[in-house]
């Protein structure tokens, strides 16, 4: 089983970025925790972060045929990016959308996602733990396909 964890814009600043909303854990620390969990379950998990929409689209394309599932926190692009939605649908790799914060409890513009309706599921509001919950959800989904 091969999974790819994708993080979008500004998530490289986790730890110092608006800690009252996103917590004080760095992206590295979160990624390492999920990678350890994946290792324990015998799953290969790679991670990628970019602030650039095009680089995220390119990384999703590169995953075609190489990855069984995607875990994606697209950050602000969640709410705006038709290009990311199209990239995800073009590869048809199953994905879980995830967010640290509960986007439904925030500004109106965050309550719309261009990715959610085609996702296996959405995890939102559990801080760093959203990543592990998204991983668990993806594993359940992929194991049920076997
Ligand atoms: C976020 C929520 C988005 O609305 C925001 O633009 C982010 C982070 C989250 O993880 O809570 O960058 O995806």
- Structure confidence at residue 43 (pLDDT): 98
pLDDT in tens, 103-129: 999 999 999 999 999 999 999 999 999
CB 96 less than 6 A from any atom of ligand 1: no
CB 101 less than 6 A from any atom of ligand 1: yes
Ligand 1 center–CA 90 separation, angstroms: 23
pLDDT at 140 over 90: yes
25-33: average pLDDT: 98
CB 69 less than 6 A from any atom of ligand 1: no
pLDDT in tens, 71-107: 999 999 999 999 999 999 999 999 999 999 999 999 9
Ligand 1 center–CA 46 separation, angstroms: 21
Please give the share of the chain, as a percent, with pLDDT higher than 90: 99
Contacts of the segment 40-47: beta carbons below 8 A, 24+ positions apart: 41/139, 42/1, 43/1, 43/2, 43/3, 43/139, 44/1, 44/2, 44/3, 45/2, 45/3, 45/4, 45/5, 45/135, 46/2, 46/3, 46/4, 46/5, 47/4, 47/5, 47/6, 47/7
Ligand 1 center–CA 94 separation, angstroms: 20
- Structure confidence at residue 146 (pLDDT): 84
CB 99 less than 6 A from any atom of ligand 1: yes
pTM value? 0.97
pLDDT at 138 over 90: yes
């Amino acid at each position: 089983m091969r999974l790819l964890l994708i993080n979008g814009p500004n998530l490289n600043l986790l730890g110092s970025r608006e800690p009252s909303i996103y917590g004080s854990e760095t992206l590295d620390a979160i990624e390492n925790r999920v990678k350890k969990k994946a290792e324990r379950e015998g799953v290969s998990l790679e991670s990628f972060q970019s602030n650039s929409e095009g680089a995220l689209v390119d990384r999703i394309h590169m995953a075609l045929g190489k990855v069984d599932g995607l875990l994606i926190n697209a950050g602000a692009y969640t709410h705006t990016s038709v290009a990311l939605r199209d990239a995800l649908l073009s590869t048809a790799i199953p994905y879980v959308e995830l967010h640290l914060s509960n986007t439904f409890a925030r500004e109106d513009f965050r309550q719309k996602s261009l990715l959610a309706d085609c996702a296996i599921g959405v995890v939102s509001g559990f801080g760093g733990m959203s990543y592990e919950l998204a991983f668990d959800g993806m594993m359940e989904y992929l194991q049920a396909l076997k």
